Amino acid sequence: MKSTLLALVFALPAGSSLAGAQHINPPTLAAPHGYTHVVTVDGGRTVYIAGQVPLDQHGKLVGAGDFAAQVRQTFENLKAALAAGGANFSDLVEMTTYVTDMSQVDTYRKIRNQYMSAPLPTASLVEVKGLFSKDVMLEVSAVAVVPASSTHPPVRPSERTPKG
């Protein structure tokens, strides 16, 4: 079985909003569109976010067959996961997105940009043949670094235990 694996990256001009983070776009690399080529971080707490998908808090798929609805739910889930780690979108330093249909990239970017602004993290967008369920159209994993001086502590671990 032949599967298509296409990695793309998108970028905006770099700067730095995260204390201790340096966003770098070397002049020897092509100008990025929707991402930053290099992010370095000094200090802070690292928050690793597992792949977020368009499921509600009860595990039900949101937006079956509707890519835009799935992107919105996935970014709402990412927002909640970041908050649980005491972080927000401006603390992101790396993000990987898997989609099942690269022709939807403009929709993805439009909705992503409602949640994020420059400077953007390093990022990869990968087209895959499928995800864990045939109806899921995207998955986003991320890494954030929260400045040591942050006033947003992580939330207490829940009573909920992972399934499987």
Domain ranges, ordered by start, for the chain:
6-146
For the domain 6-146, what is the CATH code? 3.30.1330.40
How confident is residue 14, by pLDDT bands cut at 50, 70 and 90?
very low
Q: Is the pLDDT of residue 21 over 80?
A: no
59-112 residue pLDDT tens: 999 999 999 999 999 999 999 999 998 999 999 999 999 999 999 999 999 999
Task: Provide the pLDDT for residue 90.
Answer: 94
Average pLDDT, the chain: 83
Lowest mean pLDDT among 6-20, 68-82, 84-98, 148-162: 6-20
CA distance 163 to 132: 15
**Long-range CB contacts for residues 106-115, cutoff 8 Å, separation at least 24:** 107/67, 107/68, 107/71, 108/67, 108/71, 108/138, 109/10, 109/34, 111/68, 111/71, 111/72, 111/75, 112/71, 112/75, 114/75, 115/75, 115/78, 115/79, 115/89
